[in-house]
Each structure stands twice: as structure tokens, then as C-alpha cells.
Amino acid sequence: MKFADRIRKLLGRQTLAPDDWDALADLLVEGDLGAAFADAAVQELKTACAKAGVRDGEGARRLLKTVLAPDARAADVSPRPGGLNVVMLLGVNGVGKTTTAAKLAHRWLDDGSAGKVILAAGDTFRAAAIEQLRHHGERLGIRVVAQEQGSDSGAVLFDALAAAVSEGADLVIADTAGRMHNKQNLIRELEKMDKIVAAKTDPARYRRLLVVDATTGQNALVQARTFSQAIKVDAIILTKYDSSARGGIALAIARDLGIPTAFVCDGERYEDIRAFDPVVYLSEFVGSDG
């Protein structure tokens, strides 16, 4: 059953009973809001229902959407014309960074947001990661700037930026490694890469996007906190939304860290990426009206 259908079922009664509120909080936790947020949302909902004289489940369901709306925040991270744009994809291993790099290149070439794109193979830990990006580059007909496995990821970024300038590219999409030996290493590495890009890029054209896997639940929030300590994360990209309709994590990250969501990915094909739309997203979470 889809998550929104579970909400609908729970709030299906004519008159809500006191137990229903607790059950709703539990369900919102299952939807990846996290316990504190779920409790706060239910409290707020109770107050809103009392104020509006709403006693039925369907009325409460609609009001729940209003309660959650401030945390459904979209970000437009499309490349801006008139200069070089850089998108750096961050995130732990396996969340879908490399796949998303290719999806973004495909999308922005397709809709004309970027005329020329370069992919930077910044995940230098694994040879397979470099190969994976090269393969996408071949399929998409775009250049991939890479060095051999084990090389310095900062140097790869540096090369990619130089290539973009000399070729007049509009956009560099940088893949990065998510695996570090420990948190301190990760933070240091991120800071270094960030400095290299920031030194050469207009701040309005530089986006740091954290990729999180919707199936990992509250872990994604922990990852967002860790990455935010090292680098300013401009927006989230939520992947694997196809295998989990529990989208509360994007709301939880926005509430906790103030980070909006740029895209939602729901499959492995290039086309399986869509701009985050708060209205659509809340409807998928809580159910659509009408």
C-alpha cells in the first residue's frame, strides 16, 4: 500500500478518536519524519483542527498538509546562462551520485539549460566509478575529465574546470567519492574540493547538492548533518524514491537543517528524475485532495 493510502485509511473515520492521534504520529515516524518532528506535527495538527472545528479524518488529513507545507521546500538549481556553472554531487557510497550526474547532464542538455557539459570523475577511490562515469559520457556524447584511480580528486576538479574554460562549457558536473576512512577525513576532503571550485566559480553558479537515498530513512538526515558540517549544502536530491514512497525524509532535512530539495529520482533511467514540486510531493505523502 502506498504511504498516502495508509494515511488516508488511518484518517478514514467520521470522528477521530484520541488513539488516532497516536497512531498518526507512529505512521508519520514510519514515513521517515523522525519521532520529534512527527510528534510536533501531530500536536500542531490537533491545535489546527480544534481551531478550525475539524473533527473528521478527511478534514484532518487536509490540514496535515498545511502543517507540513512549510517544510516542503523546493530549490531551483538549474544552470544560469552567462558563465560557467558547477554542480558538485555529494553523498555516501551507493546513494546514486554517479547515476544522478548522468541524469542531470541528460536533463539540462535536453531542455537547453546547458549547451556544453563536462563530467568530472571526482570519485577516484574506485576504478569502477571512473569507468561508470566514462560509460555515461560515451552514451551522452559528452567529455569526461578523469585521472587514474587513487589520484587526487581535487586535481581532477581542477583539470575539469580548466577544460571547461578552454572549451567554453556551460556546466561541469562533478562526481565525488562518498567513502572516507572517517568523518574527519571526509570533512577535510570536502573542504578541499569546495575551496578549489569556489576559488574559480561565481558563487551564484556553484551548487553543492547532497544526494540521499530515500530507502535509508533517518540515516539520510544523519548524512545531511555530517556533510553540512563540512560544506554548505545548497539542496538535496532524493533518489530511489521508486522503491520507497516514504518521502518524509526530505521534509525532515528541510526542518532540521533548512536545506531544500531540488530533485526526486524514481528509477535508473536518465529520464527518472523530476524537479521537486512541494504540492505534488505532499500529495504523495499525505494524499491528494478532491
- Region from 6-14, 120-128, 142-150, 211-219 binding Mg ion, contact rule CB under 5 A: 120-128
Q: Using the 8-state DSSP alphabet, how is residue 147 labeled?
A: -
Distances (CA, A) of 166 to 2, 34, 78, 80, 172: 49, 47, 22, 19, 13
Q: Which three cell numbers stand for residue 257?
A: 537543517
User: Mapping DSSP to helix (H, G, I), strand (E, B) and coil, where does residue 219 land?
Assistant: helix
The set of residues, in sequence order, having a beta carbon less than 8 Å from that of 252 and lying 6+ positions away, is 32, 33, 34, 37, 71, 218, 221
Site for Mg ion in 72-111 (CB under 5 A): 97-98
Closest approach of ligand GDP to the CB of residue 7, in Å: 23
Binding site for ligand GDP (CB under 6 A): 91, 93-99, 178, 239-240, 242-243, 265-268, 272
Nearer to ligand GDP, 131 or 272 (CB): 272
Closest approach of ligand GDP to the CB of residue 179, in Å: 8
Binding of residue 239 to Mg ion (CB under 5 A) = no
Nearest residue to ligand GDP by CB is: 96
Q: Which of 16, 119, 129, 221 binds Mg ion (CB under 5 A)?
A: 129
Other beta carbons within 10 Å of 257: 16
Q: 266 touches which of Mg ion, ligand GDP, none (CB within 5 to 8 A by kind)?
A: ligand GDP
Residue 260 to residue 107: CA distance in whole angstroms: 20
Interacting residue ranges for Mg ion, rule: CB under 5 A: 97-98, 123, 129
